[in-house]
Amino acid sequence: MNKEIKTNEIQIGLLGCGVIGTQVATELLNGNLDCKLAGKNRIKLKKILVNDLSKSRDNSIPESLFTNSPDEILLDPDIDIIIEVMGGEKPAYDYVIKAIQNGKHLVTANKELIAKHGPQIFGLAHEKKVQIKLDATVGGGIPIINTIMDSLKANQITEVVGILNGTTNYILSEMKNSKKTLEAALKEAQDKGYAESDPTNDLEGIDAKYKTSILASLAFHQYIAPDQVPSHGIKSISPADFHFAEELGFSIKLLGLAKQFEDGHISTSVYPSLVAADQPLARIDGVLNAVEVRGDLIRELMLVGPGAGPKPTSSAILGDLLSLIKNISSDFPLPYKVLPANARSKAEESSSDEKYRFYTRLRVNDKVGVIRDLGIILAKHQISLESISQKAHTPDSSWEKGGEATLIFLTHSIGEDKLKIALDEIKQLDPVNEICCILRVFE
């Protein structure tokens, strides 16, 4: 028997009242959601957990609701549903597990929590017969999780690819459209509240890695841990790369990619990628997110929308809350299987077999024979080139030194391992000063 609501009043415990929690609390308190339940139930926000009780808060939220004692919520038998918007791995994981053990349903926006601990959380929820809803963990207001888990359930999904991080997409768009450096675009993103004061998780692709891990696990019904998703950030990209990408007919986007091949192999990655200028993903600019899904029945579907921010994210959280209440006594089926720790996953088997075209930009001394020496090494590793060009200077010239040149080349499709071995040799050539940037072409 599933845990059912005991009265017609559904009591909510909110874990966290920061950017997202404040918006969620305000919406819960204004009573607008009750009418969406067709008069059957009333939603009551019972308690809000925060870290620092002395912090000043939105004055529409009564002070009496706040607590810094987690057990006041996790052990309260009257609280039916927990909304977790604390973020981070710990203590969120311990709180969520304790809540489920006490029979509470969960709505969460925490991608790190679900990416790292999805199997334990879903397993316990299944055992305790409570619901878990997680639409806000990926794509903010875009209903991509619910689309994959519900609307596309009948499909055999083969690929999910997306711009999953609004901060890096804003930075890349500013670098392309306003010719800014990465540092200047980041500062602007921080000033506008799009980037956190410590932007490491965004710039290094860690946030996109968590989201790719969740999307891949749900799309292919097999848990893919975040450390199985090879990830690269955007720090090495300079305005010069946008100039050369444009010359070659591409835009640059940080893409999270999850693909399942016919033999069952799964490939996942987060990679700064060249996207052909006429592809829809190339035109998604600013803080928007976009996700493309390919499946046998739907063929191709693309969802675009605001990937973060309090209002879009609460749209996903509160939508989840309402559908949870509607289906509160349904079974919670496990969304994916978890392979034993000693079994080699399909994701790990596949990565080295894949082939892509790669763009590489190098800083070299402007000497006769550089291209010849580079060509000899590439030929030795059977890497053929689609194009190569040497420029006397880069368009931004920020690091230009006398006697230097920029060399860029685009390979035909090759395995990344092969390129890495060749680049290690190229790095040793006397006139090569730096391998500045490697981008993958998204086909």
Residues marked active site are found at 211
The CB-based long-range contact list for 243-250 (8 Å cut-off, 24+ gap) reads: 243/394, 243/395, 243/396, 244/359, 244/361, 244/408, 245/274, 245/359, 245/439, 246/176, 246/277, 248/274, 248/359, 248/387, 248/410, 249/276, 249/277, 250/274, 250/275, 250/276, 250/277, 250/282, 250/441
Q: Does 85 help bind ligand NAP (rule: CB under 6 A)?
A: yes
CB of residue 280 to ligand NAP, shortest distance in Å: 23
CB of residue 145 to ligand NAP, shortest distance in Å: 12
Start-end of H helices in 1-136: 19-29, 71-74, 92-101, 111-128
* Cα–Cα distance, 326 to 260 (Å, whole number): 33
Amino acid at 15: L
CB of residue 92 to ligand NAP, shortest distance in Å: 8
Q: Does 208 help bind ligand NAP (rule: CB under 6 A)?
A: no
The CB-based long-range contact list for 372-376 (8 Å cut-off, 24+ gap) reads: 373/429, 373/431, 374/407, 374/409, 374/426, 374/429, 374/432
One residue of 87, 205, 233, 305 binding ligand NAP per CB under 6 A: 87
Stretch that binds ligand NAP, among 106-114, 197-205, 275-283, 368-376 (CB under 6 A): 106-114
Which residues between 42 and 61 bind ligand NAP (CB under 6 A)?
A: 49-52, 55
Distances in Å between the Cα of 434 and the Cα atoms of 36, 329, 375, 389 are 59, 60, 17, 16
- Return left, alpha or beta for 286; rule: phi > 0 is left, psi -120 to 50 is alpha, else beta: left
Residues 6+ apart with CB under 8 A from 234: 168, 171, 172, 182, 203, 205, 254, 272
CB of residue 13 to ligand NAP, shortest distance in Å: 12
Residue nearest to ligand NAP (CB): 18
Provide the terminal-to-terminal Cα distance of the chain, rounded to the nearest Å.
Answer: 48
Nearest CA among 161, 88, 102, 153 for reference residue 336: 153
CB of residue 146 to ligand NAP, shortest distance in Å: 15
Stretch that binds ligand NAP, among 86-94, 125-133, 154-162, 276-284 (CB under 6 A): 86-94
Q: Does 193 help bind ligand NAP (rule: CB under 6 A)?
A: no
Nearest CA among 10, 34, 19, 226 for reference residue 131: 10
Q: Does 136 help bind ligand NAP (rule: CB under 6 A)?
A: yes
Is residue 128 a contact partner of residue 106, using CB atoms and an 8 Å limit? no
Contact characters 3-22, ligand NAP, x per CB under 6 A:
-------------xxxxxx-
CB of residue 152 to ligand NAP, shortest distance in Å: 22
One residue of 46, 47, 105, 111 binding ligand NAP per CB under 6 A: 111
CB of residue 224 to ligand NAP, shortest distance in Å: 19
Q: Does 107 help bind ligand NAP (rule: CB under 6 A)?
A: no
* Cα–Cα distance, 155 to 147 (Å, whole number): 11
Q: Does 140 help bind ligand NAP (rule: CB under 6 A)?
A: yes
Q: Between residues 193 and 264, which has the closer beta carbon with respect to ligand NAP?
A: 193
CB of residue 293 to ligand NAP, shortest distance in Å: 20
Q: Between residues 188 and 425, which has the closer beta carbon with respect to ligand NAP?
A: 188
Stretch that binds ligand NAP, among 84-92, 155-163, 267-275, 376-384 (CB under 6 A): 84-92
CA angle 7, 11, 14 (to 5 degrees): 170
Binding residues for ligand NAP, how many (CB under 6 A)?
23
* Cα–Cα distance, 173 to 291 (Å, whole number): 17
Q: Between residues 16 and 162, which has the closer beta carbon with respect to ligand NAP?
A: 16
One residue of 110, 222, 268, 289 binding ligand NAP per CB under 6 A: 110
One residue of 109, 152, 214, 237 binding ligand NAP per CB under 6 A: 109
Distances in Å between the Cα of 286 and the Cα atoms of 184, 194, 290, 330 are 15, 10, 11, 39
Q: Between residues 86 and 364, which has the closer beta carbon with respect to ligand NAP?
A: 86
Q: Does 91 help bind ligand NAP (rule: CB under 6 A)?
A: yes
Q: Does 309 help bind ligand NAP (rule: CB under 6 A)?
A: yes
Give me the residue label for tokens 């409570």.
130
One residue of 308, 328, 347, 383 binding ligand NAP per CB under 6 A: 308
Q: Does 318 help bind ligand NAP (rule: CB under 6 A)?
A: no
Give me the residue label for tokens 């710990």.
90
Q: Between residues 68 and 389, which has the closer beta carbon with respect to ligand NAP?
A: 68
| Site of interaction with ligand NAP (CB under 6 A) | 16-21, 49-52, 55, 85-87, 91, 109-111, 136, 140, 308-309, 313
